[in-house]
Amino acid sequence: MPGNEKPATPKSLLVIKPSSLGDIVHGLQVVQNVGRQWPDCRITWVVRDRFAGLVEAAPFIHETIHYQRKEGIRGLWRVMRALRGRKFDLAWDMQGLARSGLMIAAAKAGRKWGRADSREGASFFYDETVELPAGAGLHHAVPILQGFLKAGGLHPEIQYPLELDAGPSFPWASFFDEDPRKLFVIFTDSRGVGKEWPKFDQLTHLIWKHIPGSRVAWCAGKPTSPGGEIPEGRFLNLTGCPMDEMIELVRQKSTFVGNDSGPMHLSAALGNRVLAIFGPTSPSRFGPWPPGSPRTEAVVAPGGVLMDLTPEAVLEALEGLISR
């Protein structure tokens, strides 16, 4: 691990965190502290191309290098070639996998730090590793990444909300001209099918029935919609929309409802109310950060079986959340 003495303030920092969406959100929350505490440090971020828009919206990030993952070895080689042409005082591998290890190996950096829990041989390319949080077992991503701040002599507390520049305008923006407690953004899918609760359709109808004047927006990777009668003016369907539109939707002042997913973490980081639904994964490791916040709630399915979680139970938790 880095020494106990406070390191010299770097003038340039390379952050390697190409994916996924939720991990990038956590990385941005941590690196936002760098921008505030090292204001003269120029920050460059290696990010997968499909998530680049989010990183580029952060005003404390000065440059991005796009990783074209779908190009395979060629995409990795392009990033490594780009890094060889730049010099950095400090480089952080916040991903901790083979690809990110090769990226930090290619970078011309005075100091190269990585995660102590890195895999696939990535640690071979580090000068030093940062300490993991105290305690046995697996940890949430945020305290793991806060280790980089501590190693740099920075205050590790996460500041809210995550600061982002204004995004693009969309014609549906007026849908959110209402009390945020009556506006609900529901994400019906997740990266893993096993983490997807199958009863958002029923929940949506319960929201319309029991929360007067409520409006619900749906988003998902593939087009879908709730069944039954949909009340006029109270539903916005953005399922299947592109990444930039999805990010702008999550940024709206509203209450987020969804599975364990990247959009859930983004909404929590932006300071929205968040109701996160968990089945086989643990909210202590994957839930909205920080745990115990009055603006977030994790609902855990009985026995981890999502099919056994009723829409009525989720509605009850949701009504409790918006009453705070």
Reference 48, options 8, 10, 76; nearest CA is 76
End-to-end CA distance of the chain: 42
Cα–Cα distance for residue pair 21/212, rounded to 1 Å: 33
Q: Residue 275: what pLDDT? A: 98
Q: Residue 3: what pLDDT? A: 55
User: Which CATH fold would you assign to the domain 12-151?
Assistant: Rossmann fold (3.40.50)
**β partners of residue 1:** none
Cα–Cα distance for residue pair 173/175, rounded to 1 Å: 5
pLDDT tens column, 212-244? 999 999 999 999 999 999 999 999 999 999 999
Q: Residue 2: what pLDDT? A: 67
pLDDT tens column, 136-185? 888 999 999 999 999 999 999 999 999 999 999 999 999 999 999 999 99
Cα–Cα distance for residue pair 136/84, rounded to 1 Å: 38
Reference 263, options 322, 191, 318, 199; nearest CA is 191
Mark out the alpha helices in the chain (DSSP H runs): 21-37, 52-56, 73-84, 98-106, 141-151, 200-210, 243-250, 262-269, 283-286, 311-322
Looking at domain 173-322, its CATH superfamily turns out to be Glycogen Phosphorylase B; (3.40.50.2000)
Q: Residue 6: what pLDDT? A: 58
Q: Residue 8: what pLDDT? A: 82
Q: Which two tokens stand for residue 90?
A: 């400090």
pTM for the full model?
0.95
Residue type present at position 185: V
Q: Given this chain, do its domains 12-151 and 173-322 carry the same CATH topology?
A: yes
Please provide residue 215's backbone torsions phi and psi, each rounded to the nearest 5 degrees. Answer: -125, 145
Q: Residue 192: what pLDDT? A: 80
Q: Residue 87: what pLDDT? A: 97
- Domain range list for the chain: 12-151, 173-322
Please provide residue 298's backbone torsions phi and psi, each rounded to the nearest 5 degrees. Answer: -110, 125
Regions of the chain where pLDDT drops below 70: 1-7
